[in-house]
Structure 1
Amino acid sequence: MKITSNFDSGNIEVIAATDPQNIQLAIRKDHQSDFYQWFHFRLNTPHAQVHKLHIVNAGGSAYPDGWKDYQAVASYDRQTWFRVESEFDGKTFTITHYPEAESVYFAYFAPYSYERHQDLLHQAQNDYNCQLVELGETLDGRDMNMLVVGEPDDSKKKVWIIARQHPGETMAEWFVEGFLDRLLDEDDGVARALLAKAVFYIVPNMNPDGSVRGHLRTNAAGVNLNREWQNPSMAQSPEVFLVREKMLALGVDMLLDVHGDENLPYNFVAGAEGVPSYSGKMQQLEEAFKAAMVMVTPEFQTEFGYGKDEPGKANLTVASNWVAEQFSCLAYTLEMPFKDNANLPDEAFGWSDIRSMKLGQDSLTAILAVVDDLR
Structure 2
Amino acid sequence: MNITSNFDSGNIKVIACESPLDIQLEINKDNQSTFFQWFHFRLETTPFVEHCLHINNLKESAYPEGWDDYQAVASYDRQTWFRVPTRYDNGTLIIDFEPECSQVFFAYFAPYSYERHLDLIYWAQSHAICDAENLGTTLDGRDMTVLRIGEPSDDKKAIWITARQHPGETMAEWFVEGLLHKLLDDEDPHAAKLLSKAVFYIVPNMNPDGSVRGHLRTNAAGVNLNREWATPSMDQSPEVYLVLNKMREVGLDMYLDIHGDEALPYNFVAGGEGIPSYDARLEDLENTFKDALLTITPEFQDEFGYDKDAPGEANLTVASCAVGEEFKALAYTVEMPFKDNANLPDIDYGWSDRRSYQFGQDTLAAIIAVVDKLR
What range describes the TM-score normalised by the shorter chain of this pair? over 0.9
Residue deviations 1:164-190, cap 9 Å, x none?
000000000000000000000010101
Match of 1:269 in 2: 269
Match of 1:129 in 2: 129
Match of 1:353 in 2: 353
Alignment of structure 1 residues 253-264 onto 2, 5 Å: 253-264=253-264
Match of 2:199 in 1: 199
Match of 1:249 in 2: 249
SS at match of 1:275: coil
Match of 1:143 in 2: 143
Alpha-carbon offset, residue 46 of structure 1: 2.2
Alpha-carbon offset, residue 331 of structure 1: 0.1
Match of 1:92 in 2: 92
Match of 1:293 in 2: 293
Alpha-carbon offset, residue 271 of structure 1: 0.1
| Structure 2, gaps ≥5 residues long | none
Match of 1:318 in 2: 318
Match of 1:281 in 2: 281
CA distance in 2, matches of 1:203, 1:136: 13
Contact conserved, 2:42 with 2:105, CA < 8 A, in 1? yes
Contact conserved, 1:177 with 1:357, CA < 8 A, in 2? yes
Alignment of structure 1 residues 1-375 onto 2, 5 Å: 1-46=1-46, 48-375=48-375
Alpha-carbon offset, residue 90 of structure 1: 2.6
Alpha-carbon offset, residue 57 of structure 1: 1.5
Deviates more, 1:330-339 or 1:48-57: 48-57
Alpha-carbon offset, residue 60 of structure 1: 1.3
RMSD over equivalenced CA pairs, Å: 0.5
CA distance in 2, matches of 1:196, 1:262: 37
Contact conserved, 1:172 with 1:260, CA < 8 A, in 2? yes
CA distance in 2, matches of 1:15, 1:117: 32
CA distance in 1, matches of 2:364, 2:196: 13
Contact conserved, 1:20 with 1:47, CA < 8 A, in 2? no
SS at match of 2:196: helix
Alpha-carbon offset, residue 59 of structure 1: 1.9
CA distance in 2, matches of 1:149, 1:249: 16
Alpha-carbon offset, residue 54 of structure 1: 0.1
Residue type of the partner of 1:277? S
Alpha-carbon offset, residue 48 of structure 1: 3.2
CA distance in 1, matches of 2:294, 2:162: 22
What TM-score do you get using the length of structure 1 for normalisation?
Answer: 1.00
SS at match of 2:19: coil
Residue deviations 1:216-262, cap 9 Å, x none?
00000000000000000000000000000001111110000000000
CA distance in 1, matches of 2:210, 2:22: 30
What TM-score do you get using the length of structure 2 for normalisation?
Answer: 1.00
SS at match of 1:158: strand
How many corresponding residue pairs? 375
CA distance in 2, matches of 1:246, 1:172: 21
Contact conserved, 2:47 with 2:101, CA < 8 A, in 1? no
CA distance in 2, matches of 1:253, 1:51: 52
Alpha-carbon offset, residue 47 of structure 1: 5.3
CA distance in 2, matches of 1:67, 1:143: 33
